[in-house]
Structure 1
């Protein structure tokens, strides 16, 4: 087995991940999170909340996972959220057409269906399953369609991303934040994409969890007030130009801003925050990079976009986080569809005197010329700029869909000074979007290790499998192990310690089955950082053994100090040697 298979085998056996619907044969693109997997996933999400909700102050909302059709027409998903599909004419299996040709072209996902067909024909690419002939490529919309209500109902879709719910609530959110920019909003929840052929386990799912922040900022104010806190962070970048050279670049955030590699400070700050988060939960720094979208793959509405990519053994570099400046595209799209302005009025600290070009229609002359239309004609004239008035001849305008010619002598214009107290602004949006399921898998893979280690009962060595989770992310943080399960005194003492540790908010497992060595190995395998052994010496002097997972070192500590020491150990505020008297392995 390669590492991917080893990780998935452990994940299924120990209750991290299971294939969904196994009782009925299962189907691709869905996974259940077992007892340990659900806990690990929640720890990832809660640390994400610490970063974005607690520290950044971006409050969290929750919106429906089903949306009415209008939302996704406005966002562009109904018309343009698709992948190219190819079906085998022989076995009828469906495939992502761009995946079939990616070994033959530099950028497969930028080609038209006709270009894809030409490449399949040129290189005689066959069905990967049966080697049959492939049909023509066609677009397949990735959204799950549904009907809301009885009968034909109202068309709706399962959301393909969590972001749209935040944009729909923009007006209320702006009022919540007293219309002061910048402000951020977060959401963690399920999204759905009807993937054509999800063959990569939890890397490509049809139902997945996203953690997204939408940060609304002033279009002309993209310097971040807290940039100094992260500007010296070292980061590995794979910029557009670096991709042409085929080499990674390591530099500080400040260098990336000054060299104009990252578009502006606000985007750079959130790339740095993503880098800190992924390292905090345990992603290996040497397997983490930020890749800039190339010009031919950049969304048309984005100023700049970077993917936080994590290296895996089977799938190579995979995108786990996208950090983009989406400009005002989303708010303008929903404004156009809903006919409701999604903007904020920014009041200045002090009013400003602004020079303004003013068009002044002569109503005394317009009235006789246009009668009932005169008012509408005047309002349209007021919107003209100096260039329209400087043209020779009459002024041609469109009023209520009708072309109207206005003599120049009924209009005058001048530059006037006007006191302005504020301005109406459509914010730009900075979006860090995290794929929690992909992060979950990469965390498992980066934590997975095997080594030869001595057993507890004998001097011989045997292979030990362990998940080297950081203590704060481990699903079970402490295991309590009475040396003998048939000793009422040891069991009673162990149960009391378990109760005390749970009162501290720790996730604790009580394990009295099998030899002490086997119990250590079981807990190493699920990533439990510390094991507490209660033995007969405990009954004599009220001390217990703390064993550390990674080093297998042990110390003897008084029960009275146990809770405080474990709290410091798990938070990284104490070394094991400081927690008690060292014991030999």
Structure 2
């Protein structure tokens, strides 16, 4: 993989896909510019994600856009202020700082996910791990918070952070979106946006960055509702899963399951969770990546709020990389934000028909309490305000006293029937989350191939930066003019790059390296018989077609019809 990554990074620099930011000043680790070709591919990945997660689910998913700057209180409520940390260790000699778990995994070859700093520190001492740079002794492992801190306005007390994820903006906006969406559950809120994480040791190109783009859905649903996901869309799927129980026994091989098995056998504990994992499978397949599986996280590996978590792992060149995360977050997020903000983020669930329920009610003899004086009144009111009706009922049954007086003289519990039309519910949340740049990078790695000493970026057609390249074979006015006419006739339907500089071989090589699937060449024969050649990127085969049929042939090619059957095959001079 290292060799493949080196080749892809070099290709990306040379062909304007991506490169380190601020290169003229030496660059900054974890920051990358996405170049003109990279932006075209990246935008198509985003559009494809929107299609799978939003457009194809538009009956229950909407998209919003929230600020990257996040007030302190929001990330305090979410738990990021206290828990968004990674373990670091510093060399006592050269003072280089390393991500402790990565260092242990690379040198000791042991799995470290979920291990506390004390355990990492123990492994470093037992294995005699030293500083990779100078060989010096390593200090004590400590936790480092990954939030980028800033201030809003001129006041030092108005502390804020660059958001580490887009999720919190969706949680805090939930009630507004719910009310605008006809007060209906389930509802998915999607967002695509920049986030920042102050990574300790960014590495592997676009795999681990300090600033990147996230595509997330926070899917809100009533866990007791009988509303079913549209599972019939996915029943033809087979999904590879490495289950937590198998991991706990030391097994590392995933098992292939039918989608129906995943649901019916509750391998994934919630149907909506299974549904979004199925959608994620289809999306990753559409990136041209077919080798992946879902790894269930063990209890000590997943976040404290998660009932179940799966990482979607892509395997390229025998190396495993996470492309997405899927978490059943329960009602943790809305409950926390309700508590910290003082705002009710529950929703009212109306019953189909009103229900008659028996409800215990507390009755206070205010006149008698008042006669007992101020101290007694204060004490009895503290009990009422801090205890449940059931707890006070137990005090009455146990004949407990308040300042020496029997509580049942002042408080009684009665049971009454009430007609209720609904109940308040705090929705649960399923979260599928992708990093855009990571999707871009893994797509490039998966598409990279070499043929006869030349590089081909064999991207899926829908992700290619341009659909077609148009070349005049020679720099002759009549050929250039004809090529421009073809360009003008096709540009409304296709993304086209026009190139008339250099030899035809070099031009073919340039578009192969950025993944353009088809090249149209105008040559002297075009001027006599009105035909052009169409060249296929991956096979280098060429067919000759009449210009009057060109639009039809191209449409059929992009629908997936056999290249060699759509025109007269001509000799390949590559």
Asked if TM exceeds 0.5, the reply is: yes
Contact 1:359 1:382 in 2 (8 A): no
What secondary structure, in the 3-state scheme, does the structure 2 residue paired with 1:291 have? strand
Give the counterpart of 2:542 among 551, 554, 560.
554
Are 2:88 and 1:99 equivalent residues in the alignment? no
The Cα offsets for residues 75-114 of structure 1, whole Å up to 9 and x where unpaired, read as 1111111111111122211101111222547542423323
Change (3 A) 1:404 1:32: farther
What secondary structure, in the 3-state scheme, does the structure 2 residue paired with 1:208 have? strand
Which has the higher mean CA deviation after the structures are superposed, 236-245 or 204-213? Answer: 236-245
Change (3 A) 1:557 1:355: farther
In structure 2, the partner of 1:140 is 144
Are 2:480 and 1:491 equivalent residues in the alignment? yes
Q: What's the TM-score once normalised by structure 2's chain length?
A: 0.92
Structure 1 distance, partners of 2:406, 2:51, is: 62
* Aligned positions of 1:108-257 closer than 5 A: 108-150=112-154, 152=156, 154-221=158-225, 224-243=228-247, 244=249, 245-257=251-263
Offset at residue 387 of structure 1 (A): 8.3
Contact 2:468 2:520 in 1 (8 A): yes
Are 2:83 and 1:80 equivalent residues in the alignment? yes
* Structure 2 residue runs without a partner (length 5+): none
Change (3 A) 1:404 1:232: farther
Which has the higher mean CA deviation after the structures are superposed, 264-273 or 84-93? Answer: 84-93
Offset at residue 26 of structure 1 (A): 0.7
Are 2:12 and 1:5 equivalent residues in the alignment? no
Aligned length: 564
Change (3 A) 1:396 1:191: farther
In structure 2, the partner of 1:332 is 335
Change (3 A) 1:239 1:378: closer
Which has the higher mean CA deviation after the structures are superposed, 256-265 or 421-430? Answer: 256-265
Are 2:552 and 1:568 equivalent residues in the alignment? no
Which has the higher mean CA deviation after the structures are superposed, 473-482 or 519-528? Answer: 519-528
What secondary structure, in the 3-state scheme, does the structure 2 residue paired with 1:331 have? helix
Which has the higher mean CA deviation after the structures are superposed, 164-173 or 271-280? Answer: 164-173
Structure 2 distance, partners of 1:273, 1:570, is: 23
* Aligned positions of 1:302-313 closer than 5 A: 302-313=306-317
What secondary structure, in the 3-state scheme, does the structure 1 residue paired with 2:441 have? helix
What secondary structure, in the 3-state scheme, does the structure 2 residue paired with 1:40 have? helix
Structure 2 distance, partners of 1:218, 1:296, is: 27
Structure 2 distance, partners of 1:28, 1:404, is: 70
Which has the higher mean CA deviation after the structures are superposed, 229-238 or 350-359? Answer: 350-359
* Aligned positions of 1:365-444 closer than 5 A: 365-366=368-369, 368-369=371-372, 380=385, 383-385=388-390, 388-389=393-394, 392-394=397-399, 407-444=407-444
Give the counterpart of 1:520 among 489, 508, 517.
508
The Cα offsets for residues 410-432 of structure 1, whole Å up to 9 and x where unpaired, read as 44445443222111111101110
In structure 2, the partner of 1:458 is none
* Aligned positions of 1:447-486 closer than 5 A: 447-452=447-452, 463-485=453-475
Structure 2 distance, partners of 1:577, 1:242, is: 47
Give the counterpart of 2:321 among 311, 318, 322.
318
Which has the higher mean CA deviation after the structures are superposed, 532-541 or 325-334? Answer: 532-541
Contact 1:223 1:266 in 2 (8 A): no
Q: Cα RMSD between the aligned structures? A: 2.5
Contact 1:242 1:249 in 2 (8 A): no
Contact 1:214 1:432 in 2 (8 A): yes
In structure 2, the partner of 1:258 is 264
Offset at residue 139 of structure 1 (A): 1.3
In structure 2, the partner of 1:535 is 523
Contact 1:357 1:386 in 2 (8 A): no
Offset at residue 302 of structure 1 (A): 0.8
Are 2:497 and 1:509 equivalent residues in the alignment? yes
Contact 2:269 2:308 in 1 (8 A): yes
Structure 2 distance, partners of 1:302, 1:566, is: 48
In structure 1, the partner of 2:29 is 28
Contact 1:222 1:265 in 2 (8 A): no
What secondary structure, in the 3-state scheme, does the structure 2 residue paired with 1:110 have? coil
Contact 2:393 2:413 in 1 (8 A): no
Contact 1:320 1:435 in 2 (8 A): yes
Structure 2 distance, partners of 1:365, 1:237, is: 67
Contact 2:89 2:141 in 1 (8 A): yes
Q: What's the TM-score once normalised by structure 1's chain length?
A: 0.91
What secondary structure, in the 3-state scheme, does the structure 2 residue paired with 1:201 have? coil
* Structure 1 residue runs without a partner (length 5+): 398-402, 453-462
In structure 2, the partner of 1:14 is 15
In structure 1, the partner of 2:568 is 581
Structure 1 distance, partners of 2:333, 2:132, is: 39
Offset at residue 127 of structure 1 (A): 0.5
Change (3 A) 1:120 1:223: farther
